Structure formats: structure tokens, C-alpha cells
């Protein structure tokens, strides 16, 4: 007999295991160059990725070195690659210091050297170096507003790139004439290298004009000096056709789809039909949840797109427009909105989490729901709809004991959601 909670846990375990650096990175590592291999990188998986590089290094030890930046609390020990930590999601002076060190590490190299760049989710905030004329306080304030307003990761990173001295391909240009190989664990819908960690090693097709349009679209106040700089094109990024990118290569070593496929294998082994909706789901978390509730009920009641027992799997990166006083975690908000839309429908269980182990500003990865979620909440005097409107899904699930806590996972491929649909 299928036990939905145990199945959800088994699928999540398989999904996270499939996107660990030690599993997905080795096959893509390059042979030692003639000169030095300088490893740089940023992201929540950057330190774990650096450790894998060291473990598989086949050249003379003295030819390997470099520096990576990871989220504070996710450091791992490396022998030759320095690991620095910085806060996430809002940068501070430690992030600027670490980023300056990364930029310095790639300067002065030769054509015989190799820059091995390791990027994963979280790299945009961790790799922070404001452009000339932009203060850290200004960039931090804009980042905070962008994270609260419901902007997509592409929109957020478009602004970040045009106010940065390292993002949008500028790191790669600092490394010329050395070739640059970027290995990335993608947490962004569509796996666009220009969006992962804001694309420090790839040309950027977006423009200052588009960055300004993002700020205007979400009515985000922008200091007059920054508005003028963007309007004039002062901080325009180098474009993909720039000849200086000729020796730059990028490979995606793992993505949300990797995690979803691993979960689907567990589902098939349990004799459930997996329905993978893709790893590029975007939109307001509560709206996506309502749509997914309709799909789940369609499976259960009409057998479309698949009859029960089945599991609906999806990834991507939803957004939350924070209007209330809660923490605004997108996965816990998705779970709460899903519970409300399902309204206690029997036989449907779900789990929604961020694969890095941290959902928004909470210390949980996400939350799980069951057919009795709303009934148990009501028995405790909890108002599920009020919690949703206050963006306090994390607080709601904490009181129910239904938050999912994985701790830091040393990887990040965005959101991971599974809805198990059994016969009613």
C-alpha cells in the first residue's frame, strides 16, 4: 500500500541526491591546463563544488588555487581553494570584500592558464561589487524592494547586472586572455547562463533601458543618480557578440529537471504515474498553487492528465509579493494556497520546498500539506486564509508542525514540488 508522506520524502531525498555536486560535477571537470587552474565561484553550492574539484584534480597541486564565496553557514573545508562566506539574500560589506578577492584572482593570467568558474543559486547576492558611482546601500535597498515586489529572477538580475562591476560578463573580461570554463548548477527557469548568478562570465543581452523599465514596472523608487546612470547607458553590460568572450564556455551540470527526473523514477518504482510539468514554472506562488490544485483535482475526478495514483512534479521559481507582515517564503506560501484551493479534498498530499534548504527568510525548506491540514488548523484556532493574506505561511505551518526542515543541502536547483494524488 502506498503511504503518501513516505513517498514524498523518498522522492525529495532522490531529487536532492541527484543534484549534489559530488554526483553531477565530476563528469564535466576539465583536464589540467598547461599553466594554472584558478577556481572562482559563488553560490550556495560553490564551496561543495570547489571541494569536488580538489578531490578530482589530476595536475600538480601547486597549479590549483582560487577563491569561492558561499552563504554563511555553508562553508566546507578545502585544501587549496579559499572559501569565504557572505550573507544571503541581501549583501553587506563582507560580500563586497569577498567579491573583490574573486575579481583580483583572475587578473594577470596568461593564455595558458584556465579560469574554472563554479556558479549556483544564490550567486547573485553573494557576488556583489557595485559599479562605480553606485553605493552598497543603494544596491542593497533596491535588492530588498525587488525581492518583496514579486519581480521574477530575470528581472531582479537584470537590475543587478547593470549596477555591478562583476556581473553580466565582467568577471570573464577581467580574466582575458585566459580561457574561462563555467560549470553551473542552475536554479533559474530555462537554465539561462546569463541569469544564473547574474551571468558573471557570459555576455549579457539585456540593457540599461530594460533595467530601468523593471524598476518603473514595480514602482520602485530609485535614487536620481542611479536613474540618470541607467538612462544614459553608463553601466551598460558587455554583449554576447563581444570578441573577448570567444574563449568562454558554459556547461549546465544540473538543473531542476535533473531533480524532477530522479523523483519520477522513485514514483514509477512505487507504481505511480509521474507527471512532470517542467522546471520553468514561474508566477505568483498563490496563483500557481490554485492552478496546480485544478490539475490535481482533474487527475482525481476525471483521470486527466493521468488517473490516480499519480504524482504531479514541478520546479522553477515562483514569486511572492509581500504585502503583509510575514516572511514571504514562496514554497510555504504555495503550500498554504494549495491547501486552501483543495479544501480538504481526500487522497491528495503535497510537499513544496526550496532545494537549498531555505525558503525565503525562514529557517525551513518549505512545507507539506495533507487532506486534514485545514481541519487541524481550525482545531487549533488558526485562520489559514488570514495567514496567507499576511504572507505568514511559514508561521502557520510552524504551529501545525508541518514545516519541512532539511538544513543546508549544499546545492540549489530552485523550487521542488510534488503532489501525490490517490483515488478519492
> Rounded to two decimals, what is the model's pTM?
0.95
Indicate whether 2 pLDDT > 90.
Answer: no
* Tally of CB atoms within 10 A around 25: 24
Q: How does residue 362 score in pLDDT terms, banded at 50, 70 and 90?
A: confident
Whether 327 has a pLDDT exceeding 80, the answer reads no
Give Dmax over CA atoms of the chain in angstroms.
68
Q: Can you list the alpha helix ranges (DSSP code H) found in 79-135?
A: 93-105, 123-126
CATH, domain range 4-15+257-421: 3.40.1480.10
pLDDT tens column, 14-35: 999 999 999 999 999 999 999 9
Residue 336 has pLDDT above 90, yes or no: yes
The third-level CATH classification (topology) of the domain covering 22-255 is Rossmann fold (3.40.50)
Check whether the bond before 309 is cis (ω within 30° of 0).
yes
Domain edges within the chain? 4-15+257-421, 22-255
Average pLDDT over residues 25-52: 97
Q: What is the pLDDT of residues 314-325, one digit of tens each?
A: 999 999 999 998
Task: Output the pLDDT for position 363.
Answer: 83
Q: Average pLDDT of the chain?
A: 96
**Which of helix, strand or coil describes residue 123?**
helix
Give the percent of the chain with pLDDT over 70. Answer: 100
Handedness of CA 272, 253, 13, 353 (dihedral sign): negative
Amino acid at each position: 500500500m502506498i503511504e503518501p508522506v513516505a513517498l514524498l520524502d523518498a522522492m525529495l531525498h532522490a531529487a536532492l541526491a541527484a543534484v549534489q555536486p559530488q554526483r553531477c560535477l565530476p563528469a564535466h571537470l576539465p583536464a589540467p591546463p598547461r599553466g594554472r587552474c584558478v577556481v572562482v565561484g559563488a553560490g550556495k553550492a560553490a564551496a561543495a563544488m570547489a571541494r569536488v574539484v580538489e578531490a578530482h584534480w589530476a595536475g600538480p597541486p601547486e597549479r590549483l588555487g582560487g577563491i569561492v564565496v558561499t552563504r554563511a553557514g555553508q562553508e566546507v573545508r578545502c585544501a587549496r581553494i579559499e572559501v569565504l562566506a557572505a550573507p544571503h539574500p541581501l549583501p553587506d560589506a563582507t560580500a563586497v570584500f569577498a567579491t573583490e578577492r574573486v575579481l583580483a584572482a583572475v587578473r594577470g593570467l596568461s593564455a595558458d592558464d584556465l579560469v574554472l568558474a563554479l556558479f549556483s543559486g544564490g550567486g547573485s547576492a553573494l557576488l556583489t561589487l557595485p559599479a562605480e558611482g553606485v553605493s552598497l546601500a543603494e544596491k542593497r535597498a533596491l535588492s530588498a524592494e525587488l525581492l518583496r515586489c514579486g519581480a521574477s529572477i530575470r528581472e531582479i538580475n537584470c537590475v543587478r547586472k547593470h549596477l555591478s562591476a562583476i556581473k553580466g560578463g565582467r568577471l570573464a573580461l577581467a580574466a582575458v586572455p585566459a580561457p574561462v570554463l563555467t560549470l553551473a548548477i542552475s536554479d533559474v527557469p530555462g537554465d539561462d547562463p546569463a541569469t544564473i548568478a547574474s551571468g558573471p562570465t557570459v555576455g549579457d543581452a539585456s540593457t540599461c533601458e530594460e533595467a530601468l523599465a523593471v524598476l518603473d514596472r514595480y514602482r520602485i523608487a530609485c535614487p536620481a543618480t542611479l536613474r540618470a546612470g541607467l538612462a544614459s547607458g553608463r553601466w551598460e553590460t558587455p554583449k554576447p557578440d563581444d570578441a573577448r568572450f570567444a574563449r568562454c564556455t558554459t556547461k549546465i551540470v544540473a538543473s531542476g529537471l535533473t531533480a524532477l527526473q530522479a523523483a519520477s523514477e522513485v514514483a514509477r518504482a512505487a507504481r505511480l504515474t509521474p507527471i512532470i510539468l517542467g522546471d520553468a514554472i514561474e508566477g505568483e506562488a498563490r496563483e500557481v498553487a490554485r492552478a496546480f490544485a485544478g490539475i490535481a483535482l482533474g487527475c482525481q475526478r476525471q483521470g486527466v492528465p493521468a488517473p490516480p495514483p499519480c504524482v504531479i512534479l514541478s520546479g522553477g521559481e515562483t514569486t511572492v509579493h509581500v504585502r503583509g507582515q510575514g516572511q514571504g517564503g514562496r514554497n510555504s506560501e504555495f503550500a498554504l494556497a494549495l491547501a486552501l484551493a483543495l479544501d480538504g479534498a481526500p487522497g491528495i498530499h503535497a510537499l513544496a520546498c526550496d532545494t537549498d534548504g531555505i525558503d525565503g527568510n525562514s529557517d525551513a525548506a518549505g512545507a507539506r500539506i495533507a487532506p486534514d491540514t485545514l481541519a487541524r488548523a481550525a482545531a487549533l484556532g488558526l485562520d489559514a486564509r488570514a495567514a496567507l493574506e499576511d504572507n505568514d505561511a511559514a508561521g502557520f505551518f510552524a504551529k501545525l508542525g508541518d514545516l519541512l526542515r532539511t538544513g543546508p543541502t549544499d546545492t540549489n536547483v530552485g523550487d521542488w514540488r510534488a503532489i501525490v494524488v490517490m483515488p478519492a
